[in-house]
Amino acid sequence: MAQGIALKYNQGSCEDRTKKENKTMKKILTVATAITAVLALTACEPKRGSEAWCKKMDETPKGEWSFNDAGDYTKFCVLNQKPEDQ
């Protein structure tokens, strides 16, 4: 009788451990996917102050610009300063 109880208890702990491992793997996969997505999206972004960046900002509605975007656009695209000159 005691062996039957111990066997059921041990089986339950294995199942619990497996569930915890699955949850951990899901969390790791979610974090890895999020990091990959962020890196993929930022890798395609043109360098701030480059001609490509100026063209992208010309196509972006002015209401979506941040304060830094407006300042950098003025500096690099209107006044034609080079980003390396900073």
pLDDT, one tens digit for every residue, the chain (86 residues) = 555 555 555 555 667 778 888 888 999 999 999 888 887 777 678 888 899 999 999 999 999 999 999 999 999 999 988 877 55
Q: Which domain holds residue 11?
A: 1-44
Helix, strand or coil, per DSSP, at residue 79: coil
Place of tokens 């490509």: 52
21 and 56 part of one domain: no
pLDDT per residue as tens digits for the range 5-29: 555 555 556 677 788 888 889 999 9
Work out how many domains the chain is built from and give that number.
2
85 and 61 part of one domain: yes
52 and 35 part of one domain: no
For 41, other C-beta atoms within 10 Å of its C-beta total 9
33 and 59 part of one domain: no
Assess contact for 60 and 54: CB atoms under 8 A.
no
50 and 33 part of one domain: no
Helix, strand or coil, per DSSP, at residue 46: coil
4 and 33 part of one domain: yes
